[in-house]
Structure 1
């Protein structure tokens, strides 16, 4: 596989130079994108301004004599997408009671269809790409899919519970083909609490060992500290663990949602005193510049608004053009929210509110007004 030192790509009407494994990029005008596109096609030497730009951004210079040996240029897309997420499977080696996926079956596309789907994402213009699960790293084809997506010029984030990060092949993969972010969920500060939450013996030791290895390798890790009823007493200890042992950036999450099927089980796992108010929902780009793909190649506007959807494996990449209309229809305030006079200050998107309503949830947990129009 051609491993590029730099990636040049259109992105939502802009043009970016990126270094794989780093979230920051350099914006360039269209004429310089065209200059690089021509230089790569003809395998010319890199223009002097490119070395100046990369040295300023990342303190690196191209070592190849010709640009075609170091730079991958992405072509423009006829679609308007820039980001996507993909559940490579829903299987998981943890069994957390608050999981929003509900029943997690280990199943998904075969290898030929995985690569076909990834090709469609690249054709759609996707640049920033999240691989998630379930637990993505336990998929036997994860490494191959990750490498394939990397070769297409996708900037990859991996979301994981961290249970596999201690393994040598995973560390070697992420060191050789660096993701721009590894997002790791943390469920406790002691072995006993970790096992109570994940129902997996020895998981705390595997996760902390893996995070030690990520720190030593300088990988770009961000921690999601998940606070639930079973581990809330260790919230401060989890924060100290991240700060003092690894020094990774982190966020604390305490608000659970119903499952994607509208089941209420995760809500019972919330630690009520740790719940935080959501920010006012002002809209999002789901279905317009972003979309989500499930393990079977079915695309939806996001991880929450999964129905209606389009089947990429049956309809092909052109089906993505329908997601914008689906997004608009899902945001209409119908059903339980019809007649609300305070929609302008609502903190919950309509697809999420629908799941809460299907779960029979206490309205105060997702509606700050406590009642419609009151």
Structure 2
């Protein structure tokens, strides 16, 4: 199993080590040398020196195939993707933007083909999410296959199952780039209330204890809602006591179906003005795939989806044009005098409008009126 990846990344080339945040820019001539290198032969001296200096690894004299995977160039131009492996979850969080939790998805053969297509499209960083991805029956082999294809993997999880030995063994053998754990409270009462599952806090603590003992590359997403707003600082303090980096999220969004029922979880005192939206490369250099292999420009803009199992990688050729069309300021935002400094993208604004959400939750006009 490889412990180093040499790969194209947009217009550059990178040398990466799974399980580590740091990487190195690789000059094109060095990358091409590795592409042409006989994997049965020892690694070039410059590579051995580089990885020893960067990561303390000794690969001198070892066949390159023992530790190095060289990703091939792609003509498709993608670098990142996210994948909802399943919408099913063992929690029923009040704020969840996915709405209904349905355990459905592709058969394993289709999942494998979609991962193969992602790799061919150039995807180097893949976020595996859900629902709760670790409850999916194919999570372990999906993760392993993506790793074997040379992807740097992030798992977004509620942490409730991270104590399971089969997951810990998987992450030890195939190190993730990051494990992002959502945090829903600092006490049992608030945590179980928001997740609407008795015992959820106990599972969270058990999972976090196991993950920290295994030295997984953790990052916390601290979710602040009406139920746990009084514990915001306590959640931050807990992250700091664990020595785990964190990011705080306070703004709720409608469901992917345009439902506004989850907006009631918003802590009004924690509603924050978002930063100005200045554009993104959704659909051009990254994309999202749902449990059925339907590809969209991102998790929010799910209109005009492309079936990767049915169309294959050629279907991605339409994604850029779809992205350009969905980002146009139309349908309720056209002619807006503040559109040049809007704080949400057009697909997200559409979700808020369909949910009949208060303007203050997403639009500057609402803030001015308030």
TM-score class normalised by the smaller sequence: over 0.9
1:8 aligns with 2:13: no
Partner of 1:149: 146
Count residues in correspondence: 368
Partner of 1:264: 260
1:1-374 alignment runs, 5 A limit: 3-39=1-37, 41-62=38-59, 65-244=62-241, 246-370=242-366
Task: Give distance in 1, aligned partners of 2:286 and 2:185.
Answer: 32
SS of aligned partner of 1:147: helix
Task: Give distance in 2, aligned partners of 1:341 and 1:201.
Answer: 48
Alpha-carbon RMSD across the aligned residues, in angstroms, is: 1.3
Change (3 A) 1:134 1:42: closer
SS of aligned partner of 1:107: coil
How far 1:159 moved relative to its partner? 0.1
Structure 1 unaligned blocks of 5 or more: none
SS of aligned partner of 1:241: helix
Task: Give distance in 2, aligned partners of 1:50 and 1:369.
Answer: 56
Change (3 A) 1:201 1:262: same
- List per-residue Cα deviations over 1:121-159 (Å, max 9, x = no partner): 000000000000000000111011100110000110000
SS of aligned partner of 1:15: strand
SS of aligned partner of 2:258: coil
How far 1:370 moved relative to its partner? 3.1
TM-score, with structure 2 as normaliser? 0.97
- List per-residue Cα deviations over 1:192-247 (Å, max 9, x = no partner): 11111111121111111211121122110000010111111111111111111x11
How far 1:64 moved relative to its partner? 5.8
- List per-residue Cα deviations over 1:310-353 (Å, max 9, x = no partner): 11111110111111111100011111101012222111100000
How far 1:63 moved relative to its partner? 5.6
- List per-residue Cα deviations over 1:277-330 (Å, max 9, x = no partner): 100000001000000000000000000000011111111101111111111000
Task: Give distance in 2, aligned partners of 1:63 and 1:228.
Answer: 52
Structure 2 unaligned blocks of 5 or more: none
TM-score, with structure 1 as normaliser? 0.96
Change (3 A) 1:23 1:321: farther
Runs of 4+ in 1 over 2 A off after TM superposition: 41-44, 369-372
SS of aligned partner of 2:364: coil
